[in-house]
Amino acid sequence: MTIARSPLAPQGFPDLPAIQGVAPRVARARYKTWDRCDLTFIELTPGTAVAGVTTQSKCPSPEVEWCRAALALGQARALVVNAGNSNAFTGNRGRAAVEAIAARVAGHLGCQPSDVFVASTGVIGVPLPIDKAEAGLDAAFAAPACDWEDAAATIMTTDTFPKAVLTRAVIGEKTVNLVGIVKGSGMIAPDMATMLGFIFTDAAIEPAFLQKTLSAANRTSFSCITVDSDTSTSDTVLAFATGHAGNAPLASFDDAGADAFQAALGDMCLQLAHLVVRDGEGASKFIEIQVEGAVSDESAHRIALSVANSPLVKTAIAGEDANWGRVVMAVGKAGEPAERDRLAIRFGPTQVARGGLAVDGYDEAPVTAHLKGQEIEVGVDLGLGSGRATVWTCDLTHGYISINADYRS
Amino acid sequence: MTIARSPLAPQGFPDLPAIQGVAPRVARARYKTWDRCDLTFIELTPGTAVAGVTTQSKCPSPEVEWCRAALALGQARALVVNAGNSNAFTGNRGRAAVEAIAARVAGHLGCQPSDVFVASTGVIGVPLPIDKAEAGLDAAFAAPACDWEDAAATIMTTDTFPKAVLTRAVIGEKTVNLVGIVKGSGMIAPDMATMLGFIFTDAAIEPAFLQKTLSAANRTSFSCITVDSDTSTSDTVLAFATGHAGNAPLASFDDAGADAFQAALGDMCLQLAHLVVRDGEGASKFIEIQVEGAVSDESAHRIALSVANSPLVKTAIAGEDANWGRVVMAVGKAGEPAERDRLAIRFGPTQVARGGLAVDGYDEAPVTAHLKGQEIEVGVDLGLGSGRATVWTCDLTHGYISINADYRS
């Protein structure tokens, strides 16, 4: 089944610089019966620092378990990404496949297996075939370095466009580059890093501090998006810092340039997260849910997710129907403090309900006009406190049903 | 938009006896631009006991607030149900409409307004027009008594078939009848009474004990179904007992026949709950999720709901795709204790995964055959303890999208 490029996709692919110390290559492992590259091998210069966040699923893939163990060491020499088979829920055979991949790469680079990070995405429950992985790796070792667009396309599954972002920060006298690629369009929910995302920078950063900045960036980006409320067994975001920019290594927020790096990384993660929503399965609208006036930021976040995950809200927006009653419903079911008669709701800039009922003389025309656009904003004010949160999602359309009822992901 | 009768609907409407002391009538209030009865008025004999459970939404309708206050008194003389307008989130005007309805009925019957129970279902945010309600009531007062099928049809909104159930119990020497009617097909989630349901019995029961039996029945029926994880602002289930059967009034489980009545009421609630799932918006499959081996019954219930509410599980079943990896995913995201390598999953009688991986020599043919049926069973064994739970849901199809993206409910 061919899915058309998402109508919410950005124009084209961004111009991205090479990141010193990072060499991507792609190959055909043929994990599925397709004729496309599906194995990505990215070699990293010795001394590259690594940080990561992984799924909160209680049934994670062996890749996730492998990465968690390797992250404790803070060093990386390579990343391997398999597309078409997530290798999740495959028992000992799944673990053996990850170990075989790490061993193959370690042999090729002369490094430790624990320096090799592995991520896989695709169908659950089918052990990753070791012979295909090894043949694919050997082909990748022999391949010329590719560009970021090839790498971003090779990690895709049901994605309809390759996703990448560039940000920069100035650390001391040095300008550092951050390039990120991401894949994901379904099984996206905010229990943490909610897709495969890989960020590469030439900045020099201590692993522990890189982890601190990535965790902070994750909280306001990948943890604030949802496509379908489903949480993958394989979600992984990794950040690699080669140090080739030559800045004085960052080790704490007291270091000059650390705030700038955090800002660039946060911007990177937010842009990557938005790209995932823009490729949400079947999405025709990009929706921002802004909640304020809650009793706490955490409460606001839970209410925002209740709205963002409501099938009735998402289908109403798909139908360009100013059915704000469904927003009331979703606020009411969140289980968080709310008082009906203090609640205010808006679509775009137009207030539709306030004080427990529709705004007097409410004119639906500007709301309908807003809903006909592709960028939808829903505002909820609880009127109780100063807690606020923003989450992003997409609408729920026939496209989601077609993709997921017909395609074994 | 005309929606075809659900393929999961039962054949025809059951034969139901009149309940002594209960007189239903219907009329056209024309809450929407339709030419159908949409107001149900049910007169109850003096001395009728009442019990109820209502939504857990933090933004309930004024009808729900009215019923909660009236339930404290334990007596009922009438029930009014409005279809086409839920009157929720309408501020003082909504409250005034409920008060006007109760006053009109009280004047007609010569009872207290607090003896009158009111429920409304339909669009949120539009105050129920008092003039239409009053004219509809006057028409109902003058109408002949109708049968249960008329009443069950008149409370419908997006429902595709009228829903009613008969059960019986023997109390002492007396056989008592219970007739229940229910409406609901979307905005169905298990935070409690999850639709409008009304149960009438000629049994004599003390109000406090009727409440106890209804609350118990609710926990294993209405609280165990979900169509779309959305919780209505108006959910209400009321049980009325006229006492005309002449049994010695039941006041506790020590009374002869109390267990039989509880069993009949429990059976009634479960059958009504299943009818709601069978009319789930767009449903093509009736799905039972059985979870066992969890650390507690509560944990099993939450895991079962995580599976039942997963859009990816529901679309896979819609597509008759034996994609058990999505069940693993949904178990993993529930946030409850689970160990990947102890997990076992079956579809119908066929075990597909055990001990953290696919069953050796797994043959997909019988699973695919099971999924082609209309009655689907998914079994999950956590392998951790003795906690168990069962929930019921339906699949997620194009029909759900069509209904909810195109129709302002």
Domains of chain A: 22-278 (3.60.70.12), 286-406 (3.10.20.340)
Beta bridge partners of B381: B292, B344
Q: Are A58 and B332 in contact (CB under 8 A)?
A: yes
Surface-to-core class of residue A251, CB atoms within 10 Å of its CB (0-12 exposed, 13-18 middle, 19+ buried):
middle
Compute the nearest-CA separation of B341 from chain A (Å): 7
| 3-class DSSP string for chain A | CCCCCCCCCCCCCCCCCCCCCEEEEEECCCCCCCCCCCEEEEEEEEEEEEEEEECCCCCCCHHHHHHHHHHCCCEEEEEEEEEEECCCCCHHHHHHHHHHHHHHHHHHHCCCHHHEEEEEEEECCCCCCHHHHHHHHHHHHHCCCCCHHHHHHHCCCCCCCCEEEEEEEEECCEEEEEEEEEECCCCCCCCCCCCEEEEEECCCECHHHHHHHHHHHHHCCHHHECCCCCCCCCCEEEEEECCCCCCCCECCCCCCCHHHHHHHHHHHHHHHHHHHHHCCCCCCCEEEEEEEEECCHHHHHHHHHHHHHCHHHHHHHHCCCCCCHHHHHHHHCCCCCCCHHHCEEEECCEEEEECCEECCCCCHHHHHHHHCCCEEEEEEECCCCCEEEEEEEECCCHHHHHHHHHCCC
Which of A311, A316, A405 is closest, CB to CB, to B228?
A311
Compute the nearest-CA separation of B363 from chain A (Å): 14
Render pLDDT for B81-102 as a digit per residue (tens, 0 to 9): 999 998 988 888 999 999 999 9
A183 annotated binding-site participant: yes
Distance, in Å, from the CA atom of A250 to the CA atom of B252, rounded to the nearest integer, reads 72
Q: Do A329 and B233 touch (CB under 8 A)?
A: yes
Can you give the length of chain A in residues? 409
- Residue A189's pLDDT is what? 46
**Coil, helix or strand for B397?**
coil
DSSP state of B105: H
Surface-to-core class of residue A318, CB atoms within 10 Å of its CB (0-12 exposed, 13-18 middle, 19+ buried):
buried
Interface predicted TM-score (ipTM)? 0.79
Distance, in Å, from the CA atom of B213 to the CA atom of B198, rounded to the nearest integer, reads 14
Report which of A159, A189, A162 is spatially closest to residue A392, judged by C-alpha positions: A189
A393 annotated binding-site participant: no
Q: Do B323 and A233 touch (CB under 8 A)?
A: no
Going from the C-alpha of B92 to that of each of A23, A178, B98, B124, the distances in angstroms are 66, 55, 10, 14
DSSP state of B282: T
- Residue B227's pLDDT is what? 75
Q: Which residues contact A368 (CB under 8 A, 6 or more apart)?
A: A320, A322
B372 annotated binding-site participant: no
Q: For B357-386, what is the mean pLDDT?
A: 94
Q: Do B405 and A316 touch (CB under 8 A)?
A: yes
A194 annotated binding-site participant: yes
Q: Do A357 and B127 touch (CB under 8 A)?
A: yes
In the residue annotation, A201 being an active-site residue is answered as: no
pLDDT band at B409 (very low <50, low <70, confident <90, very high): very low
Question: Scanning every residue of chain A, which has its alpha carbon at the shortest distance from the alpha carbon of B85?
Answer: A325
pLDDT surpasses 90 at B12: yes
Beta strands in B359-404 (DSSP E): 375-381, 387-394
Can you give the length of chain B in residues? 409
- Residue A192's pLDDT is what? 31
Question: Scanning every residue of chain A, which has its alpha carbon at the shortest distance from the alpha carbon of B311?
Answer: A228
- Residue B224's pLDDT is what? 86
A236 annotated binding-site participant: no
Surface-to-core class of residue B102, CB atoms within 10 Å of its CB (0-12 exposed, 13-18 middle, 19+ buried):
buried
Digit-by-digit pLDDT tens for chain A (409 residues) are 456 898 999 999 999 999 999 999 999 999 999 999 999 999 999 999 999 988 878 888 899 999 999 999 999 999 999 999 989 888 889 999 999 999 999 999 999 999 999 999 988 888 999 999 999 999 999 999 999 999 999 999 888 899 999 999 999 999 999 999 998 866 554 333 347 889 999 999 999 999 999 999 998 898 888 777 676 777 788 999 999 999 999 999 999 999 999 999 999 999 998 998 898 888 899 999 999 999 999 999 999 999 999 988 999 999 998 888 889 989 988 989 999 889 999 999 999 999 888 898 888 899 999 999 999 999 999 999 999 999 999 999 988 888 778 654 4
Chain centroid offset of residue A72 CA: 22
Cβ neighbours of A234 in B, within 8 Å: none
Distance, in Å, from the CA atom of A343 to the CA atom of A327, rounded to the nearest integer, reads 11
Q: Write phi, then psi, for B153 (nearest 5 degrees).
A: -75, -30
Cβ neighbours of B60 in A, within 8 Å: 332, 340
Which of B59, B127, B404 is closest, CB to CB, to A331?
B59
The more confident residue out of B277 and B289 is B289
pLDDT surpasses 70 at B408: no
Cβ neighbours of B88 in A, within 8 Å: 325, 328
Compute the nearest-CA separation of A279 from chain B (Å): 16
Compute the nearest-CA separation of A182 from chain B (Å): 20
Which of B315, B334, B408 is closest, CB to CB, to A405?
B315
Q: Which residues contact A103 (CB under 8 A, 6 or more apart)?
A: A113
Distance, in Å, from the CA atom of A29 to the CA atom of A26, rounded to the nearest integer, reads 9
Which of A127, A325, A343 is closest, CB to CB, to B124?
A325
Cβ neighbours of A347 in B, within 8 Å: none
Q: Are B183 and B195 in contact (CB under 8 A)?
A: yes
Q: Do A91 and B357 touch (CB under 8 A)?
A: yes
- Residue B313's pLDDT is what? 92
Cβ neighbours of B294 in A, within 8 Å: none
Compute the nearest-CA separation of A24 from chain B (Å): 30
- Residue A162's pLDDT is what? 95
- Residue A406's pLDDT is what? 65
Beta strands in B115-242 (DSSP E): 116-123, 163-171, 174-183, 196-201, 236-241
Helix axes A91-109, A130-142, angle to 10 degrees: 20
Which of A94, A353, A406 is closest, CB to CB, to B89?
A353
B157 annotated binding-site participant: yes
Q: Which of A40, A158, A194, A226 is catalytic?
A: A194
Q: Do B189 and A333 touch (CB under 8 A)?
A: yes
Distance, in Å, from the CA atom of A168 to the CA atom of B91, rounded to the nearest integer, reads 51
Q: Do A332 and B189 touch (CB under 8 A)?
A: no
Cβ neighbours of A91 in B, within 8 Å: 341, 355-357
Question: Scanning every residue of chain A, which has its alpha carbon at the shortest distance from the alpha carbon of B88?
Answer: A325
